[in-house]
Structure 1
Amino acid sequence: METKKLALNNISLMIICLGFIIGSIIMSIPLYYGFLAGIVLTVAVLVKNGYGLNDLVKTIFTAVYEIKNLIIVILFIGATTSIWMASGVVPTIMYYGFSYMEGVNFLFAAFLIMVTVSLFMGTAIGTMSTVGISLSGIGMGLGIPQSVVVGMLVSGAFIADKISPLSGLINLLMTTTGKSYKDIFKTMIVTLIPTIIIAAAVYYIIGLSYTTGDYDKLILYREAIAEGFNTSPYLLILPVIILGLSIAGLNSIITFSIGVGVGSVLSILFQGSNIKTIIMSILFGYKGNTPSAELNKLLVSGGMVSMIEAILMVIGAIVLVQLFEKGNILLPIMEKLVNGINTKVTLVRRTGLLSTLLTVATCDQTAGIILPTKILKNKYEELDLDLAVLTRTISDTGIIVAPLMPWNINSFLIKPIMGITAAQYAPFAVLCFICPVVSVTMSYMLYRKK
């Protein structure tokens, strides 16, 4: 009876905390206020249940300390978007893109480009803050609504988190399940191929409406870029370096550091920038200065300062999750969700549900990986189902739906990069919707008789 009461209290606490976050979105106030309210309430509840306040404060500081590298990476993402603008890399890609994309189905082509690049980079947010910025400028220059463009970019970029061997999430999956990349890749390809084909087809159909753009405007944009920047194919050395370092598996902080350094040098050599201008761009952002006021609106980035709000929200999300784990709030709820599993189809579906709910509730994909694995690993072995199926199901559900949630860490980071919220781009991030559906459908086809 006491356990049942505790589980009920846990559910109520999680719902209230999520209500604080959603309330912040509805009232258009910074999300970190919602997380702060949730943290205060959770601490109060845990103290009432016998946890020491000093111990909980220590948990909070430990949680923040453990994500110090993530905070540094987030700041570098803000710096990278600015340096790609200031150095002329983004304008150069747009300059050539406006020529090569004439008459081409941009949404279809850009989606395939993002899928390919994200696989090699191994980071969805890294892909969004580099190649994504350039493709976003081209797409909006072609007259495609920003929400459609960003939704497409998110779909392509998050293939990295789903299956790239360089992804931290995939490596976490391999560690928790004890499976090799070769094992999980063979299993994941079963749902990956139809997911990409369906998403590409959707973007091809949507893109047909935008293949006859205003080419006179594109010519004006090209002329404005030529006047405002010194464009050169040599500037593409920066994307090549970033991609090469990512493929080599170099640490993200080192990769971004080198990227910012090379970008600064290119800014001096090609755009005549000085050290002060570069530092100001990195810290406070960059604004385009071409003859076209309309184009200048596309050439904007917020720099490191623009990422501070995102950092506060990330800290809030991580601290709240750590407090949930400290108080053993999540595990009892999750265990109730896995009762009554006796078939492989039910097991796969329940895995997807569990991983998705954890990603939604905890604002992060990590809990959606670790807890389902911890709870369901024995059940997979009991029903003689390969643990590679567990990794595939989690990557198809809990990992891939993350950017759809306005309160998710990934959404926090996309907003300052792309300038719009998850609520605006989510309806067009079709791959993130399709993937869970394909996963459930394939589970029925593969295991319905087992």
Structure 2
Amino acid sequence: PPALTAGAVISGAVIGDKISPMSDSTNLAAGVTETNLFAHIKSMLYTTVPAFIISLIIYFILGMSYDVTSIDTTAVDTILAGISENVNVTPFYSLISLIPLIAIVVMAAKKVSALAAMIIASIIAMFIAMFVQGYGILEMMSFMNYGFSIDTGIEAVNRLLNRGGIQSMMWTVSLGYLGLSYGGILEKSFALEAILNKISSVVKSARNLIITHVLSSIFVNLISASQYVAIIIPGRMFLPAYRKLGIRSDVASRTCEDSGTVTSPLVPWGLCGVFFAGTLGVGTLEYLPYAFLCTLTPLVAILYAITGKFIWKEESSEGNVKEAAD
């Protein structure tokens, strides 16, 4: 069923996004909470991996209910033929095209900054395109800025290959700037502090703080329709409370993603919800019951808050992890 398939696709996409040092939301959550990027990713593994494993088990069980005896490969064959006629996809060239991906993985393992890794990988990819496809340097610079455009005569192939460049992402960048600016105004005008003072009696313990953070981020996601705003405002608002309780900042950054980012695809009027629905051709409310990772991750975060598991204190080290008591 399309809804079940879409839910599985989204679950895979979300965990891939969360463990990638190239992800915009991952970098944003780390930056907002003043956390080292790789410490943030490592902390997220404690919530997203269990949710992912549970999701895989559920998908496996549900998948056993369906049996496909025949597959119509006409559409796939048409797309592959269209690509082969317009792009060099010999085995040798295909292997060369993996070099930027390998470079990103190596740089991520070496903990190279995300910005530097993306720039280096993009330059490598640019020279590969020039070598394999025969494009000139001016054409490549134009593609990077305005996006690649080709008419293959096959609509499905055109949709696959014709993508925007830097300019197509400016709406996302501008939204991030607006969210950061709005969060900065709320912080420097002491509005966030005033709100925090009002709920200070509620967030006196690690358990209540994390649960409140999760629920607040989901609420902001619903009213702002933006995962960026859902990361920025609750993240900046609750960060002082984490520090007051002596909880490490990577717990705060993790909670930002466990609630603000992961639930964004479930908001029908949100940016992620609209994108996924449009790309997969399945309505948000249709795939929502099957996007298990998106619903399980905040539940795992709340479970940890209740039990006190993996809620680390500032003074803890890699070899001696001390959990925050209520």
| TM-score, length basis structure 1 | 0.52
CA contact 1:356–1:368 (8 Å) conserved in 2: no
Give the structure with the higher percent helix: 1
Q: What is the distance in 1 between the residues matched to 2:258 and 2:118?
A: 28
Gap change, CA 1:190 and 1:262, over 3 Å in 2 = closer
> 1:436 deviation in Å?
0.8
1:30-429 matches, within 5 Å, as 151-160=10-19, 168=27, 181=39, 191-204=47-60, 213-231=71-89, 232=93, 233-290=95-152, 292-340=154-202, 345-357=207-219, 363-378=229-244, 380=245, 393-398=255-260, 400-402=262-264, 411=272, 424=284, 427=288, 429=291
Counterpart AA for 1:240: I
Q: What is the distance in 1 between the residues matched to 2:186 and 2:46?
A: 35
SS of the aligned residue for 1:286 comes to coil
Gap change, CA 1:415 and 1:146, over 3 Å in 2 = farther
What stretches of structure 2 of length at least 5 have no aligned partner? Answer: 310-324
SS of the aligned residue for 1:220 comes to helix
Counterpart AA for 2:215: L
- Report the RMSD for the aligned CA atoms in angstroms: 4.5
Gap change, CA 1:377 and 1:336, over 3 Å in 2 = same
What stretches of structure 1 of length at least 5 have no aligned partner? Answer: 1-106, 108-142
SS of the aligned residue for 2:160 comes to coil
Q: What is the distance in 1 between the residues matched to 2:192 and 2:204?
A: 23
> 1:324 deviation in Å?
1.6
Gap change, CA 1:270 and 1:161, over 3 Å in 2 = closer
> 1:328 deviation in Å?
1.6
SS of the aligned residue for 2:88 comes to coil
CA contact 1:415–1:421 (8 Å) conserved in 2: no
Match of 1:11 in 2: none
SS of the aligned residue for 1:158 comes to helix
Alignment equivalent of 1:438, drawn from 281, 295, 300: 300
State the number of aligned residues.
Answer: 294
| TM-score, length basis structure 2 | 0.68
- Deviation string 1:195-225 (CA, Å, 9 cap, x unpaired) is 1112223444676769664223323322222
Q: What is the distance in 2 between the residues matched to 1:303 and 1:270?
A: 20
**Equivalent pairs: percent with the same residue?**
19
SS of the aligned residue for 1:318 comes to helix
Counterpart AA for 1:432: C
- Deviation string 1:20-59 (CA, Å, 9 cap, x unpaired) is xxxxxxxxxxxxxxxxxxxxxxxxxxxxxxxxxxxxxxxx
Q: What is the distance in 2 between the residues matched to 1:323 and 1:173?
A: 14
